[in-house]
Amino acid sequence: MHPFRFPTGATGPAMVCGLLVLFLATQAAWADPPADKGKPARKSSMPQMHMYDSMHVGVSAGITVGDARELAQRYEMIGQKPLPPGIRKNLARGKPLPPGIEKTRMPEAFVQALPRHEGYEWRQAGGDLVLVASGTLVISDILEGVFD
């Protein structure tokens, strides 16, 4: 039996070795550089959004601070202490309700008088009225000073 020859004159085993070397060389060229090598990540000119921002954009309280304050006066809820500054600075739209906020029960009639939003609930945070997502407690809107 006559051994198979490629048109270039190389025998089968030599051609396979050549192809294997070529394959390995291309794999090394296409491989990703190590994490600590190469160009640094490009800085985006877009402001960074909190991961919760896109989930809760556009859901607002649906009531003004003045109207909410009138309701609070009607139900004798005025005169609450504001949150300590360290906790207050963490109270922001798109972020979860900070831990350490007292769970203050609000009168049911007061809560019923507020606008209803499916999947959201009202919370009192010191002197502020806060609309949060029911399951995650991510803040959707803040009415500052309603209970001051």
Cβ atoms 43, 52 nearer than 8 A = no
**When comparing pLDDT for 98 and 36, which is higher?**
98
For residues 51 and 56, give the distance between their C-alpha atoms in angstroms, rounded to a whole number: 10
Averaged pLDDT of the chain: 76
Structure tokens at 92: 């922001």
The whole-number pLDDT of residue 17 equals: 56
- For residue 19, give the H/E element and its range: helix 12-30
Q: Give CA separation, 138 vs 8, 44, 62, 95, 104, in Å.
A: 70, 26, 17, 5, 17
pLDDT digits 0-9 by tens, 11-20: 666 656 565 5
Give 34-66 as a DSSP string.
PTTSSSPPPPPSSPPPPTTGGGSTT---SS-HH
Q: Please, which pLDDT band fits residue 99 given cuts at 50, 70 and 90?
A: confident
List the domains of the chain with CATH numbers.
Answer: 58-143 (3.10.450.160)
Stretch among 30-39, 73-82, 101-110 having the lowest mean pLDDT: 30-39
* 48 pLDDT more than 70: no
